[in-house]
Amino acid sequence: MPALRVIIATASPLARSRLARDLAALPEIDLCGSAADLSAIYMLAEQREPEIALIGRDMLTHPDFEGILSLFGMIGTACMEIATEPGAAAGDAAILPGMAPAALLARLRAVRAAATPRRLPAVPQPDSSTARAFRVDRVILIGASTGGIDALLQILSALPADCPPTAIVQHTGAAFSDSLIRLFARCAKARVLPAQDGIALSPGTIVVGAGCRGHLHLHPGTPLQTRVLPGAAVSGHMPSVDMLFQSALPFAGRIVAALLTGMGRDGAQGLLDLRRAGARTLAQDEASSVVYGMPRAAADLGAAEQIVALPQMAGAILSHCIEQRMEVARK
């Protein structure tokens, strides 16, 4: 039987060293490495694709750990908590440094046997009964926060390689921004780029503002360009969804904007301003939202032209970008 590939992820050097010692004593375990911060965890998991990740509570409770869990789901990594007290290790989903080797191995094998890779759900596509092409002037804007990483993975996986240019703000910390871009690139057919000045918003380009040091803006040009402009945090966020949406007001007739799951109100006012200026606007529904804060605020303001469940969101967005052509009359 092949050795189980395991990684350790905790900021505690004592827990890392004790667990590494325990695992090294088991020939059935291939210890792929250990990490002390989110970026290092992501890179280690990306490179080694472990079967099991032993994670400290200090990491599990970090707000940006959502992205790590999304990667684990994509590569089929089972996640187990590193307990710090004997009583906490009673459950099958916890590991305690210093456990008896037989008990440690049995627990790892049981968790691995129960784990299955998470597949992104199939996303309904717009009706293809007639010949269609994307309108050359359309630009997609998306804002998201808590729960948004998984939501964006579903949407981006459904966008075709030649999708309309897309700009996204996802709330996350600066330390995880590069890893998040790589995560989105794993599932997207189009090209995914981190937000920076001067990116041409051409078809097949997705620009992601996440943890960057300024607000992502649209800037006039042919095609439109991106800018990352310094300033104060808005609604507690840098970059802010509201700032992205409001920067698009001069081009509102070209915009399809969606506000996804997240805590707070960031993006709601910007979505309302876009709708009033002539953009097509959508918000995620409550049932499919992890946190129904931002989309609720948009719905309460009347900012969303459509309230859409996540599985239908990609199709709904694309339906506003498609130019329908006349069918050739059937004989």
Active-site annotation, residues: 145, 171, 266
Label each residue of 215-282 as H, E or C: EEEEECCCCCEEEEECCCCECCECCCHHHHHHHCHHHHHHEEEEECCECCCCCHHHHHHHHHCCCEEE
SS3 of 2, please?
A: coil
* Complete edge-to-edge strand list for the sheet that includes strand 78-82: 29-35, 4-9, 52-56, 78-82, 94-95
Tell me the sheet residues that pair with 256: 140, 280
Nearest to 213 by CA among 267, 165, 166, 177: 177
DSSP H helices in 11-141 = 13-24, 38-48, 57-60, 65-75, 101-114
Are 261 and 287 contacting, i.e. CB atoms less than 8 angstroms apart?
no
Give the whole-angstrom CA distance, residue 176 versus residue 165: 24
